[in-house]
């Protein structure tokens, strides 16, 4: 059916490539970005239940109270979940299709906050929920304050 | 005091991977025409229109400028909305809210998606929700559900074969639904050997890209009784915002579905969901998700739904009639998908679903919309008030 439609000269389709550049302000979360440049992972802490959250927020999403305290989350955490992409997918920063060797993981940091990252171990069968991981940073001069200033999370023997 | 409301007409297009023969507006008109015909109404009878799609996946903004004229509805009152995959859900819920005011006689709820025109928009947009927080990852529904499926296997002890059982059941249902896009005649072996996208998600486990539209007409009680002798009463509805983090849920297998359905059950006296609800059309973008969703809507205990498939208990004419239309892995015009669920649930209540009609009387049906990484819309329908 699809092929027939494509060959049918009665119906015509036009292609419109578009390129748009956005400039998004980081606001209160800028403190998190500046922390990354210094090799620190900072999260906001809820004064009601003490829970630390990344992305940081001015107010706690559950208790809706102001969060003024920032807590350094340390350099280590435990694996919550992981998956590996087995097919080429678009890099949203470059718009190019590329392959992805490293699993994407969720980590619960020593300070209690959770964040996503890349795992240095490329074999997903070697990843176990709860395993200890340590942040591997880009050299300081290359850091931009983005979450991927942490290049990988590296499994640590206990 | 809110009016009681009912769905008096439903319509959808035959969903396809490509529709070069129609524009987005023409495709919408197709669904609306079928809906008006079903309700035995004309556009003159409609006095409010709520409409929407996931705009990024369409490539048009302000699409109502093009669609409203095609419907012959210029000058009518209405709203345009969008909320990713739940768009159709918020369209319907807003339509319900408007109808319940009693200020309008007939509210048309319309949702659509023509994914053959910008299917790549999802991938290029990364997570799409926030570039700073998700932009480093090639996030998509595939990666979202790969993570959920991995965590589900980890916690439940189920295997990849159970995901394949779900997919085969979905296809068996879709084979009986003439509006479904993918009707493939799948076997367990075919699913198990299909291309791996992001382990444990295979190509066949994911919803397809679809061009399609769906619509329904909602009226307050007085008008509904005049229009049709088969009103489908809207018992309750709830749109649930997602709490917690942008980048990951507190529980990677979980969404807001359990929270939202429990809330709706409580205020409608539903204590035994698999008994009190006879038909389910729940938005499951990937086959592994159906297992968790069955648990979250309260059909069985957490992390046990895979056993129901092992025991062959899920299907149109089985103990648990879950997604008799074939569901979202067969058909997914994203923004429209929750309205497709609503249309299908309404047809089940009326007894008009045709080959995929669940046997016996359907007194109550539940339809949902899902989107982003966990938002849900619950829509509860009744045969009688």
3-state secondary structure of B202: strand
Element at B263 (helix H, strand E): helix B257-267
- Which of the pair, B56 or B264, is modelled with greater confidence? B264
- Residues 335-374 on B with a CB inside 8 Å of A are none
Which residues of B fall within a CB distance of 8 Å from A18?
59
Q: Tell me how far apart the alpha carbons of residues B287 and B163 are, in angstroms, rounded to a whole number.
A: 6
Q: In angstroms, rounded to a whole number, what is the distance separating the alpha carbons of residues B249 and B257? A: 13
Q: Are B137 and A116 an interchain contact pair (Cβ–Cβ within 8 Å)?
A: yes
Q: What is the pLDDT of residue B243?
A: 55
Q: Do B131 and A129 touch (CB under 8 A)?
A: no
Cα–Cα distance between A44 and B138 in angstroms, integer?
A: 26
Taking only the tens place, the pLDDT of each residue in B81-116 is 988 889 999 999 999 999 999 999 999 999 999 998
Shortest Cα–Cα distance, A70 to chain B (Å): 17
Contact indicator for A35, A47 with CB cutoff of 8 Å: no
pLDDT reading at A20 higher than 60: yes
**For residues B352 and B324, is the Cβ–Cβ distance under 8 A?**
no
Beta bridge partners of A105: A82, A117
**Confidence class for position A5, pLDDT limits 50, 70, 90:** very low
The yes-or-no verdict on residue B124 having pLDDT over 60 is no
| pLDDT-above-90 percentage for chain B | 77
Q: Which of B134, B201, B247, B375 to mutate to test the interface with A (most CBs of A within 10 A)?
A: B247
Contact B226, B210 (CB under 8 A): no
Nearest residue to B246 (alpha-carbon basis) of B86, B85, B373, B376: B373
Nearest to A90 among B123, B150, B243 (CB): B123
Q: pLDDT grade, residue B55 (50/70/90)?
A: confident
Q: Which of A28-42, A80-94, B19-33 has the lowest mean pLDDT?
A: A80-94
Q: Does residue A3 have a pLDDT over 70?
A: no
Task: Please name the residues in contact with B338: beta carbons below 8 A apart, sequence gap of 6 or more.
Answer: B85, B86, B87, B88, B89, B91, B92, B111, B283, B367, B368, B369, B370, B377, B379
Mean pLDDT value of segment B7-26 = 96
pLDDT tens-digit readout, B168-216: 999 999 999 999 999 999 999 999 999 998 888 999 999 999 999 999 9
With b meaning 16 or more CB within 10 Å and e meaning fewer, what string describes B317-351? eeebbbbbbbbbbbbbbbbbbbbbbbbbbbbbbbe
Which residues of chain A lie closer than 8 angstroms to B154, CB-CB? 81, 129
3.40.50.300, 3.30.9.10, 3.40.1010.10, 3.40.47.10: CATH of B5-120+209-227: 3.40.47.10
Q: Is residue A92 less than 8 Å (CB to CB) from chain B?
A: yes
Structure tokens at B363: 């007194």
For residue A151, list chain B residues with Cβ-Cβ distance below 8 A. none
Task: Grade residue A8 by pLDDT with cuts at 50, 70 and 90.
Answer: low
pLDDT > 90: percent of chain A: 58
pLDDT at B249: 44
- Which residues, listed in sequence order, are joined to residue A40 by a DSSP beta bridge? none
Which residues are paired to B181 by β-bridges? none
Per the prediction, chain B carries an average pLDDT of 92
Q: Which of residues 102-131 of A touch B (CB under 8 A)?
A: 104, 106, 114-116, 124, 129
CA atoms within 13 A on the CB side of B359: 6
Task: State the complex-level ipTM.
Answer: 0.82
Q: What is the pLDDT of residues B253-264, one digit of tens each?
A: 667 899 899 999
* Residue B25 pLDDT greater than 90, yes or no: yes
Is residue B267 less than 8 Å (CB to CB) from chain A?
no
Tell me what the mean pLDDT of segment B51-77 comes to. 91
Residue A86 and residue B125: Cα distance in Å, rounded? 19
**A155 and B CB contact within 8 Å:** no
Most trustworthy range by pLDDT among A6-20, A48-62, B33-47: B33-47
Domain parsing of chain A, residue ranges: 26-155
Is B157 in CB contact (< 8 Å) with chain A? no
| Cα–Cα dist B151/B251, whole Å | 9
Cβ <8 Å between A81 and B131 = no
């Amino acid at each position: 059916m699809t092929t027939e439609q494509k060959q049918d000269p009665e119906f015509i389709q036009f292609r419109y490539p578009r390129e748009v550049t956005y400039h998004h302000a980081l606001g209160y979360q800028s403190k998190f970005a500046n922390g990354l440049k210094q090799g620190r992972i900072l999260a906001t802490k809820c004064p009601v239940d003490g829970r630390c959250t990344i992305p940081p927020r001015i107010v706690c999403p559950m208790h809706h109270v102001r969060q003024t305290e920032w807590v350094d989350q340390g350099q280590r955490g435990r694996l919550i979940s992981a998956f590996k992409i087995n097919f080429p997918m678009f890099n949203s920063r470059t718009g190019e299709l590329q392959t992805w060797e490293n699993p994407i993981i969720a980590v619960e940091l020593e300070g209690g906050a959770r964040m996503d990252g890349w795992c240095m171990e490329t074999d997903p069968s070697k990843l176990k929920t709860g395993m200890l991981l340590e942040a591997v940073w880009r050299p300081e001069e290359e850091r931009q304050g983005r979450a991927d200033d942490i290049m990988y999370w590296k499994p640590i023997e206990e | 005091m809110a009016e009681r409301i009912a769905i008096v007409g439903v319509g959808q297009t035959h969903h396809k991977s490509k529709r070069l023969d129609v524009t987005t507006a023409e495709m919408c008109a197709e669904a609306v025409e079928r809906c008006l015909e079903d309700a035995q109404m004309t556009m003159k009878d409609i006095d409010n229109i709520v409409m929407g799609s996931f705009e990024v996946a369409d490539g048009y903004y302000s699409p109502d400028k093009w669609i409203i004229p095609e419907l012959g509805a210029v000058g009518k009152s209405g709203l345009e909305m969008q909320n990713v995959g739940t768009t159709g859900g918020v369209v319907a819920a807003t339509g319900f809210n408007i109808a319940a005011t009693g200020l309008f006689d007939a509210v048309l709820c319309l949702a659509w998606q023509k994914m053959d025109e910008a299917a790549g928009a999802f991938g290029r947009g990364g997570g799409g929700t926030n570039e700073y927080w998700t932009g480093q990852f090639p996030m998509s529904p595939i990666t979202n559900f790969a993570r959920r499926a991995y965590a589900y296997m980890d916690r439940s002890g189920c295997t990849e074969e159970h995901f394949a059982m779900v997919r085969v059941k979905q296809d068996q249902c879709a084979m009986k639904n003439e509006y479904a896009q993918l009707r493939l005649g799948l076997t367990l072996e075919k699913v198990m050997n299909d291309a791996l996208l992001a382990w444990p998600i295979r190509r066949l486990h994911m919803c397809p890209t679809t061009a399609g539209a769906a619509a329904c007409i909602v009226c307050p009680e007085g008008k509904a009784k005049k229009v049709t002798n088969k009103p489908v009463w809207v018992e309750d509805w709830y749109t649930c915002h997602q709490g917690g983090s942008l980048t990951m849920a507190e529980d990677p297998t979980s969404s807001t579905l359990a929270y939202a359905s429990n809330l709706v059950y409580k205020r409608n006296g539903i204590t035994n969901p698999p008994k009190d609800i006879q038909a389910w059309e729940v938005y499951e973008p990937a086959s592994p998700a159906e297992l968790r969703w069955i648990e979250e809507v309260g059909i069985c205990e957490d992390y046990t739904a895979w056993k129901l498939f092992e025991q062959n208990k899920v299907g149109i004419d089985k103990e648990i009639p879950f997604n008799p239309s074939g569901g979202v892995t067969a058909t997914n015009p994203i923004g429209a998908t929750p309205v497709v669920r609503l249309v299908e649930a309404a047809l089940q209540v009326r007894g008009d679903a045709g080959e995929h009609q669940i046997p016996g009387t359907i007194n109550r049906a539940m339809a949902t919309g899902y989107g982003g990484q966990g938002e849900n819309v619950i829509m509860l329908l009744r045969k009688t008030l």
